[in-house]
Amino acid sequence: MDRRGKLWVFMVIFIVVAFGAMMTSCAKPPRKPEAALDTPEHHVFSGNKLLDKGDYPGAQREFELALQLDRKYSPAYVGLGLVFGYQNNFEKAYENMKKAKGLAEKPDDKVTAHVGMIRLYSMERKEKWLDKAEDEFKAALKVNPKSSAAYYYMGKAQKFAFNFDKAGEMFKKVLDLNDKYLIEADGEWKIVQKIQRAAPGSMIGKKIALIEEITRADVAALFIQELLLEKLYEKRTPRRFDTSFQAPVKRFEAERIVKAEPAMDIQTHVLRTDIETAMRLGVRGLEPSPDHKFYPNDKINRAAYAMMIEDILIKVSGDEKLATKFVGQKSPFPDLRSDHPSFNAIMVMTSRGVMEAKDLTTGEFAPNGIVSGADALLIIRKLKDELRFF
């Protein structure tokens, strides 16, 4: 290389170094703490609390305040990654999570970053997401074999993948460790146990098992696909034929009448076929409203669910006396009057062990309480056992 070429290379290097120094000098310096608790650790703690409540703007604010104090604070990037993940912005989510992994130096920070990746994969659930989550889980255990967070969130990942046995093992491990996430793991373990006992046989049953509050559409799908209600009715109830005489004129007039759709709000619903079948079978509580709507997204409470199950039991067993069996009796539940519309249904269900009090210590039934997917499935399983006697 001649002298002129060397001089050109030197100038390029000088410009690059000078530009880097200028950018460094212009970079915004860390913000000075304004209070005793104005620390990266406290802001991340507050951000995680807001994240759990679903307050994503508030959580993002706290994580950014942490980074203003320390641009290399790894847990803050984990928090931002989760904020973006919950809002389905996975490009930014993984970008922040990778920063967190790159900056993590302390063992706890490394575990937090690996767990953050497990949570992101569980949110997005794209191709081979479970394999990737398991890789992050193993990496976390290499750093800390007793990480409750790693076991807990890997348990949730296995639950989302419908691997309920593996999920139960993970939650049980958290309980054995007796450290963090005890309350959360205990709740999840109980849910998994219900699902295992219910043993859903259909994919829709497994999916609904993970729902915290089921809807009218969910119930229709469970009855048709999990309980196989259509086949059950065909097998247990005799077919009826209308052989009465009909005048030809009236019959032709009837054929000319254009019937309105029984439910106008389910045309694009993914569970439309199940909903239409449930309406055709006439399940009490799943009828369309007078304004020709089904309201598929309305939540189902325990009282309404008891009335639906009672209706099925009466139709399959043929025992019409069940409909009034407990009318006039005193209510054993402190939160349920004996003149409540669902009283008889609740009594039929609880007396046969298909349903039970919500709180066994107080005896409260909680008629207005929510019905989770796991509870709905377990009740269907018990109903199946009850129907074997008929």
What number is the average pLDDT over the span 236-262? 56
- Read off the pLDDT of each residue in 270-281 and give the average, rounded to a whole number: 96
Q: What ranges do the domains of the chain cover?
A: 40-204, 205-387
Whether 344 and 310 have beta carbons less than 8 Å apart is answered as yes
pLDDT digits (tens, 9 = 90+) for 50-108: 999 999 999 999 999 999 999 999 999 999 999 999 999 999 999 999 999 999 999 99
| Percent of all residues in the chain with a pLDDT value above 70, rounded to a whole number | 86
Burial category of 364 from C-beta neighbours within 10 Å (exposed 0-12, middle 13-18, buried 19 and up): middle
First to last CA, the chain: 98
Rounded to whole angstroms, what are the CA distances from 371 to 17, 80, 212, 309?
Answer: 65, 33, 7, 13
The pLDDT, as a whole number, for residue 182 is: 95
Predicted confidence at residue 234, as pLDDT, reads 86
Q: For residue 32, what pLDDT is reported?
A: 76
pLDDT digits (tens, 9 = 90+) for 138-162: 999 999 999 999 999 999 999 999 9
Domain at 40-204: CATH code = 1.25.40.10
pLDDT at position 366, please? 97
Identify the burial level of 128 via C-beta atoms within 10 angstroms of its C-beta, where 0-12 means exposed, 13-18 middle and 19 or more buried.
Answer: exposed
Region 10-25 average pLDDT: 53
Q: Is 215 helix (H, G, I), strand (E, B) or coil?
A: strand
Tokens of 65: 């305040």
Q: What's the pLDDT tens digit per position in 203-234?
A: 999 999 999 999 999 999 999 999 999 999 98
**Most trustworthy range by pLDDT among 114-118, 203-207, 241-245:** 114-118
306-350 pLDDT per residue, tens:
999 999 999 999 999 999 999 999 999 999 999 999 999 999 999
